[in-house]
Structure 1
Amino acid sequence: MKRFFNADMKRTSLPPNPFHLFNHPTLNRKPTTVTETRTIHAHIIKALPLHSDLFIANSLADSYCKSGAMDDALLLLDEIPHPNHISWNLMISRFIQRLQYDGSFRIFRRMHSNGFEPNQVTCGSILSACAASQSLHFGKQVFSLVMKNGFFSDGYVSTALVDLFAKSASFGDALRVFSEVSNQNVVCWNAAIAGGVRNKDNWAALHLFCQMIDENLMPNGFTFSSVLTACAALRELEVGRGIHGWVIKCGAGDDIFVGTSIVDLYAKCGDVNEAARAFSMMPEHNVVSWTAIISSFVQMADSVNALKFFKQMKEIGTDMNEFTITSMLTACAKPVMAYVGIQMHCLILKSGFLMDCAVKDSLINMYVRTGEVGLSEKVFDEIRCVKDVSTWAVMISGLAQSEDSTRSVELFKRMAREGLRPDKFCSSSVLSVIGCLALGKQIHSYVLKAGLVVDVSVASALFTMYSKCDNLDDAYEVFKQMPEKDTVSWTSMIAGFAEHGNADQAFCLFREMIFEQIRPDYMTLSAILMACSVLRSLQKGKEIHGYALRVGIGPETLLCGALVNMYSKCRTLVSARRVFDAMPQKDQISWSSLVSGYAQNGYIEDALLQFRQMLIYGMEIDCFTISSVLGVSATLTRAGLGKQLHAYSVKIGLDSDLSVSSSLIAMYSKCGSIDDSRRVFDQIERPDLVTWTTMIDGYAQHGQGVEALKIYEMMREEGIQPDSVTFVAVLSACSHNGLVEEGYLYLNSMVKNYGIAPEACHYACMVDLLSRSGRLEEAASFIDKMSIKPDALVWGTLLGACRVHGNVELGKLAAEKVLELEPCDPGAYVLLSNFYAEVGDWEEVLKIRSLMKGVGVRKEPGWSFV
């Protein structure tokens, strides 16, 4: 007890002055312990009755609170005969400081039930406790008491009310309270602005800040931190720069929280250089500011600089938190950073962060993205004893991203077997990789039973699954039953219709979306432009383009790529090139679409020039681009160019792609090198239907019908089902080799074995086969018995055969049918004119030429590359 007395205190038997104890500087330098406080309490009891000096009683209660003896403080409060406002407010505030909000509520109720009316300080304190604990119901009761006692205009009370409503997700009530009080309290303004940020009404927060400036109130560090956070959330860089200017003007730049908010602003707005500059100017850094600058580099996919700043942070001894670790794991989530990711894993184990949910989920995700799915499963198996659904969701999502549908579904089932209920994230992830309709329906049953189908992400994944399984009716039914539809769900359904050739339904859905006042984004417009490409509808495509420009959606690379593709498919290459040239950043998709557009529309030189430009600019070449340019080589019959492209595709590893292989087979075939086509074919491990068909067609065009039919039989033995295009190639092979009986056999096989109804092209092949064999009358009889009405192609085939064999009567019949079906086709007139010239009927030749002039038909002049 000696340290509680002054040096001039006389050592007498009299007890010390209790008032002197609570004012002694030595005592106030360090909080008293519980034992010391009880000792003082004992001296006070000996010296004078406790109720004789209310200040000493309150001070003693405060000392108990500071030492953590809250029960002793409450007992002392009960002993005070007439506690005052200070007594009650002191106890309430100390409970709040120790985050014991329920204790502060109990004291407030006791105070009120004892008939002691609270004052402004009491109400403000208890409202702050309600805000911190988000006890809105009790806060509203206190609000009623505030109104009754007339404390509403008090700055402390009104600030607490604004804070309460803002933190309880009642920002509208917070604004009403704020607007009804006229005060010049910066703290109240800060509460309102912070409330807007908390409730994601960032524009309201910025508007309040402007009002605050207009009221000539000087913002402080808390104000700047809040409005800078609002600018970062809105990606409003220019507004943020203006706030930064205010920070400098007010001298608040040294505040560590303001500095961190500035770094975060520039980082989220993509200006990483300015973020680094702001970080370097901060006089002091904490873990939050370090994490902000690291995250800025991660956001810009600059893993090297993210790692550099992380190392600097560790070197100066700043402790990392879970946000720092998750940011670094995101930086390491690429194959080239796999080794650093393993080092981060070791650091996580050493620092004890592995059991943090966000960290372990990021660790699993990092291994998945680096291609180390095995390691991600190992991490998962080590920590899956923790019944954390989010971790299972990350693992299932990782397997889904790796397109490992089997293990993803198996993990989903195992999760259910272990007594965990898969959530919306697990369900949507596993639905995204299901390609089996039966299994998809089972998952559909589960999400219905679990009540997850009302979630937008699950429902969207569900109808996307049905769409992927070619079940558009069920997909659309799920879509219609969704209680809420966001832009993503509308876009997915529109894309589903467009991808499956139902362009008209895609347009109807797009119009419905507009009527529902849901604004399409660039992804939606890209999907509907795909429908325009399917329909080759230039008018609709232009309307979508105009809408995008009108609503301010335009510079996005994906939308520009869709526009280039649409204009190319609609054969408007000038517009396609204009959109392409206006793109701020050209990507591989748009460039490939332009090359393909030029190639498919006969602009061979432009196609090759653009392909060359892609190579010069170091643009990634995909299989789609290579296939398009190989098609140009085939058109030019330039095997040298084709061989160069073949070598290039081998170099970049695209020769194993089936579309490229098919294009190579077709190119070599059209260039007259069927042996090279076969060599390419034999190197393919698992040919698909297109590849088999291309090889059959190649042999057919080279007159090697027997080899073509051998390839067809090999295809059947491999279990590949032929389609209508395959049978065109097979019948063409029969035609080029006079295999009449085989031709009839394969034509009948189409319907009997595969349920494929013959089309005009198949019948034309049979007519050609019969005609080449000199069986013209049988060909004419065959045409009469066709199950569909013969078109100009069929009659034209017969006409050409009649010209070769000199059958005038049958030739005239075929000619009349051709002109009847296609009166404006110059090819039909030329064919008919040549026919009459061959048989020496020059009067008919003159009539045909006169008829061409009468209907305005002109023969296009011939041209050659030779």
Structure 2
Amino acid sequence: MLLHHHSSILQRLMLASSLRFRRFKYQYHYQCYCSCTNPSQAPVAFTAKTVCNESLLFRYLTKGWHHEARNLLLQSFSAGDLHARVVRWTSLLTNYTRKGHVFEARMLFDVMPHRNIVTCNAMLSGYLQSGMLDEARWFFESMPERNVVSWTAMLGGYADAGRVEDARRVFDVMPERNVVSWNAMVGGLVRNGDLEGARMVFEQTPCRNVVSWNVMIAGYAENGAMDEARALFDQMEFRNVITWTSMISGYCRAGNVEAAYGLFRTMPEKNVVSWTAMIGGFAWNGFYEEALLLFLQMSLSDSKPNGEETFISLAYACAGLSFPYLGRQLHAQLIVNGWKLDDYDGRLRRSLVRMYSVFGLMDYASNVLEGNLNNFDDQSLNSMINGYVQAGQLEKAQELFDTVPIRNKIAWTCMISGYLSAGQVFKACDLFDSMPDRDSIAWTSMISGYVQNELIAEAISLFGEMMAHGFSPLNGTFAVLFGAMGSVAYLDQGRQLHGMQVKTIYEYDLILENSLVSMYAKCGEIDDSYRIFSNMAYRDKISWNSMIMGLSDHGRASEALTVYETMLEFGLYPDTVTFLGVLTACAHAGLVNKGWELFNSMVNSYGLQPGFDHYISIINLLGRAGKVKDAEEFVLRLPVEPNHAIWGALVGVCGLSKTDADVASRATKRLLELDPLNAPGHVALCNIYAANDRHIEVTSLRKEMRIKGVRKAPGCSWILVKGRVHVFSSGDRLEPHVEDILLQI
């Protein structure tokens, strides 16, 4: 056994040595060929070796040595009959065109001793595949013989180049058509957006096959005409996996994921493309969890994931769910399976960069790009900058922004928004002023940043500047400004903006309408708010909550509760904001029993966890009804430790009746333990003591306030006149201000 083992090793070593020698010998002779300046000096010892001859042939063709190339063809491909040789030459020509060597392919065509119609069609296809349409047309017209393949190739070339009329002319004069020709005409019209013309040709096709139906269905699906696609789909007698997948992709593209998944479940046969289409449809429409679960189901089937398309969708889903551990496992799986080899267009790399940027794992995102600026395409740059901004690493975002040679509008806008979110308004302004090519999105981001930083007058002024520079406001621009007008109750400015919006933008969207409902409610025009709400074609939970809160704040409790009941009838489940609105309405109207019923429903029926705001609403509900001691008992039974806002609310309701001095004293004590300098608590307790003729306690408490330095913040009012905000505080001498304002009006 041992002798046999050594003998086997020796044989393998001898074989390897022989192979190395032959490889060296071929390399030597190839170098001799390449070093020849005169083809007649080229050695001919190994002309029977096909690999070497093909390399030498390519060199002859590149140099334009026709005679030598022709002789080499005759010498190297002498085996077999004439037909076999023509087949080999045609195969070599096709290989050249596929690799982009069209010039060498044409030279080979010219020096071929013999050709046939297949050779001519191969050369014609080579021109068309390389986009050389004029050369293809000249070659086509000079062909001594043309068959249906030639005509169909020319038709497809014109259609691919967008020259539909030329394609039609070729189609009309074709001496012979087959089903491939008809399908090529239908497909060409579909690709150029002429669905009506494609349908006419489709209906005229004398003998349609499954490809004919698939081309027409895919055309409808890709253009969002799913009703027409479904009608054809239902008419088909025989469908294949391509038919089903086209329909699934079309429904997903149109946002009808339910219909897509219904087809996916019933399709008789699935392949990796079908699974990937459905996974991608879930992911791109926001059904991230469903995308991941379907991938797990795919893993248990016979289909193996597509290294690019499948994992791009999965990376998007992991980012949407904020599952960093799962995202890293996905990346590890890709590395194990050699994902870099499949990522020929960089889409997979971009999806991973975006995923890690959403997670805030910026070191991982940078590692995917390998720190190479050449890998920073626009999408990766935007993802990285946005990731740094969201992670609060503005310095690194600025460093990357300054490093890359070319920055697009999205990168500029992202940096501006980042500084505004961090309250660094001056840096944002500097960037905005330096931005070379602003668009409406950049202007809107700047306006929104001003509003976020409570610079309302500056936001309005910038909006005027935006209009003066000729930029059309977006729906989002108006939505931001409507929100700003509502926050400071600038009704006149809000009405003017609304009038401008009506003249500028004719199509409402949900965010814009919600902002209008909220603005008019906050500005005191609850009827206008309800009118806009009633006319909305579609309402989401924000719409209902805004209306309920608006009616509640205006003391219209019965109407707020009616809107709440209507919301339930429409099948929408309330959230914590909804219950805050209805509880506040009950508190304003003194509906104690209804308030308790809603509070219990929130916890028991909908499983929602109350927050401090809900507890405060119940305290106000009981206190306004004169049940202060019940409110104190409610606070003492809370499942969480009461904070200063809870105790402050209890002190506040004690001040309503001014008779529960003991409760107020206990609540104020707990309040001041948490917030010793709380001025409203001191003042409320003083008022309660005074109302109960406990003047000694009042004097003592006021003395304590002076010692602590507790002072009640003065109330203030403001008015906007010609873009300038005038603020008036309690105790101001108003005469000079009034004179200035009157002069401006």
TM-score range, shorter chain: 0.5 to 0.7
Counting only pairs closer than 5 Å after superposition, residues 334-345 of structure 1 correspond to structure 2 as 334-335=288-289, 339-345=293-299
1:648-687 deviation digits (Å, cap 9, x = unpaired): 2213233334443443343333334444466458646587
Q: Distance in 1 between matches of 2:491 and 2:167?
A: 50
Larger Rg computed on CA atoms: 1
Which residue matches 2:328? 377
Which residue matches 2:680? 728
Which residue matches 2:187? 225
1:655 partner SS: coil
Are the structure 2 counterparts of residues 505 and 102 from structure 1 closer, same or farther at C-alpha, using a change threshold of 3 Å?
same
Residue 600 of structure 1, CA deviation: 2.0
Does the 8 Å contact 1:487/1:520 carry over to 2?
yes
Are the structure 2 counterparts of residues 542 and 681 from structure 1 closer, same or farther at C-alpha, using a change threshold of 3 Å?
farther
Confirm or deny that 1:360 pairs with 2:360. no
Does the 8 Å contact 1:295/1:306 carry over to 2?
yes
Q: Distance in 2 between matches of 1:123 and 1:480?
A: 61
Residue 615 of structure 1, CA deviation: 1.4
Residue 256 of structure 1, CA deviation: 5.3
Residue 586 of structure 1, CA deviation: 2.1
Counting only pairs closer than 5 Å after superposition, residues 766-785 of structure 1 correspond to structure 2 as none
Confirm or deny that 1:603 pairs with 2:560. no
Q: Distance in 2 between matches of 1:300 and 1:745?
A: 69
Confirm or deny that 1:578 pairs with 2:531. yes
1:196-217 deviation digits (Å, cap 9, x = unpaired): 6xxxxxxxx9xx779979x999
Q: Distance in 2 between matches of 1:735 and 1:445?
A: 58
Which residue matches 1:622? 575
Which residue matches 2:411? 458
Residue 640 of structure 1, CA deviation: 0.9
1:760 partner SS: coil
2:668 partner SS: helix
Are the structure 2 counterparts of residues 606 and 332 from structure 1 closer, same or farther at C-alpha, using a change threshold of 3 Å?
closer
Residue 358 of structure 1, CA deviation: 3.1
Which residue matches 1:510? 463
Are the structure 2 counterparts of residues 540 and 789 from structure 1 closer, same or farther at C-alpha, using a change threshold of 3 Å?
closer
Confirm or deny that 1:424 pairs with 2:386. no
Which residue matches 1:95? 93
The residue type equivalent to 1:598 in the other structure is L
Residue 71 of structure 1, CA deviation: 4.3
The residue type equivalent to 2:731 in the other structure is P
Q: Distance in 1 between matches of 2:369 and 2:122?
A: 48
Residue 593 of structure 1, CA deviation: 1.7
Indicate which of 469, 483, 486 corresponds to 2:422.
469
Does the 8 Å contact 1:294/1:327 carry over to 2?
no
The residue type equivalent to 2:329 in the other structure is K
The residue type equivalent to 2:187 in the other structure is S
Indicate which of 520, 524, 531 corresponds to 1:567.
520
Does the 8 Å contact 1:155/1:188 carry over to 2?
no
1:462-497 deviation digits (Å, cap 9, x = unpaired): 322222223333333333333344444333333222
Q: Distance in 2 between matches of 1:557 and 1:713?
A: 45
Q: Distance in 1 between matches of 2:685 and 2:106?
A: 96
The residue type equivalent to 2:93 in the other structure is F
Over aligned residue pairs, what C-alpha RMSD do you find?
5.2
Does the 8 Å contact 2:221/2:229 carry over to 1?
yes
Does the 8 Å contact 1:697/1:730 carry over to 2?
no
Are the structure 2 counterparts of residues 268 and 95 from structure 1 closer, same or farther at C-alpha, using a change threshold of 3 Å?
closer
2:581 partner SS: helix
Residue 633 of structure 1, CA deviation: 1.0
Are the structure 2 counterparts of residues 683 and 467 from structure 1 closer, same or farther at C-alpha, using a change threshold of 3 Å?
farther
Indicate which of 241, 251, 270 corresponds to 1:297.
251
Which deviates further from its counterpart, 684-693 or 488-497? Answer: 684-693
2:411 partner SS: helix
The residue type equivalent to 1:731 in the other structure is V
1:422-446 deviation digits (Å, cap 9, x = unpaired): 8325414424533x4xx33333223
Does the 8 Å contact 2:106/2:123 carry over to 1?
yes
- Relative contact order, higher structure (CA 8 A, sep 6+): 2
Are the structure 2 counterparts of residues 713 and 353 from structure 1 closer, same or farther at C-alpha, using a change threshold of 3 Å?
same
Which residue matches 2:102? 104
Q: Distance in 2 between matches of 1:748 and 1:683?
A: 34
Q: Distance in 1 between matches of 2:370 and 2:707?
A: 52
Q: What TM-score, normalized by structure 2, do the two folds share?
A: 0.67
Which residue matches 2:674? 715
Confirm or deny that 1:78 pairs with 2:71. no
Q: Distance in 1 between matches of 2:497 and 2:155?
A: 45
Identity of aligned residues (%): 17
Are the structure 2 counterparts of residues 334 and 413 from structure 1 closer, same or farther at C-alpha, using a change threshold of 3 Å?
closer
Which residue matches 2:725? none
Residue 626 of structure 1, CA deviation: 2.0
Q: Distance in 2 between matches of 1:567 and 1:745?
A: 44
The residue type equivalent to 1:532 in the other structure is M
Q: What TM-score, normalized by structure 1, do the two folds share?
A: 0.58
Counting only pairs closer than 5 Å after superposition, residues 631-710 of structure 1 correspond to structure 2 as 631-650=584-603, 651-674=605-628, 675-676=630-631, 679=634, 683=638, 685=640, 693-695=648-650, 697-698=652-653, 701=656, 703=661, 704-710=663-669
The residue type equivalent to 1:105 in the other structure is F
Confirm or deny that 1:449 pairs with 2:403. yes
2:423 partner SS: coil
Residue 646 of structure 1, CA deviation: 0.8
Are the structure 2 counterparts of residues 244 and 417 from structure 1 closer, same or farther at C-alpha, using a change threshold of 3 Å?
closer
Which residue matches 2:147? none
Residue 284 of structure 1, CA deviation: 5.4
Are the structure 2 counterparts of residues 458 and 680 from structure 1 closer, same or farther at C-alpha, using a change threshold of 3 Å?
farther
Which residue matches 2:79? none
Does the 8 Å contact 2:450/2:456 carry over to 1?
yes
Confirm or deny that 1:310 pairs with 2:253. no
1:491-516 deviation digits (Å, cap 9, x = unpaired): 33332223333233333333344444
Does the 8 Å contact 1:661/1:681 carry over to 2?
no
Q: Distance in 1 between matches of 2:91 and 2:504?
A: 54
Q: Distance in 2 between matches of 1:688 and 1:393?
A: 46
Q: Distance in 2 between matches of 1:690 and 1:244?
A: 69
Are the structure 2 counterparts of residues 267 and 598 from structure 1 closer, same or farther at C-alpha, using a change threshold of 3 Å?
farther
Q: Distance in 2 between matches of 1:593 and 1:705?
A: 34
The residue type equivalent to 2:601 in the other structure is Y
Residue 613 of structure 1, CA deviation: 0.8
Are the structure 2 counterparts of residues 555 and 527 from structure 1 closer, same or farther at C-alpha, using a change threshold of 3 Å?
same
Confirm or deny that 1:613 pairs with 2:566. yes
Which residue matches 2:115? none
1:483 partner SS: coil
1:320 partner SS: helix
Residue 635 of structure 1, CA deviation: 0.8
Residue 305 of structure 1, CA deviation: 4.3
Q: Distance in 2 between matches of 1:540 and 1:257?
A: 61
Which deviates further from its counterpart, 367-376 or 491-500? Answer: 367-376
1:656 partner SS: coil
Q: Distance in 2 between matches of 1:256 and 1:511?
A: 59
The residue type equivalent to 2:381 in the other structure is K
The residue type equivalent to 2:308 in the other structure is C
Confirm or deny that 1:433 pairs with 2:423. no
Counting only pairs closer than 5 Å after superposition, residues 231-250 of structure 1 correspond to structure 2 as 242-243=196-197, 245-247=199-201, 249-250=203-204
Q: Distance in 2 between matches of 1:576 and 1:472?
A: 33
Does the 8 Å contact 2:279/2:291 carry over to 1?
no
Residue 643 of structure 1, CA deviation: 0.7
Does the 8 Å contact 2:651/2:667 carry over to 1?
yes
Q: Distance in 1 between matches of 2:595 and 2:295?
A: 43
2:101 partner SS: helix
Does the 8 Å contact 1:700/1:730 carry over to 2?
no
Does the 8 Å contact 2:356/2:362 carry over to 1?
no
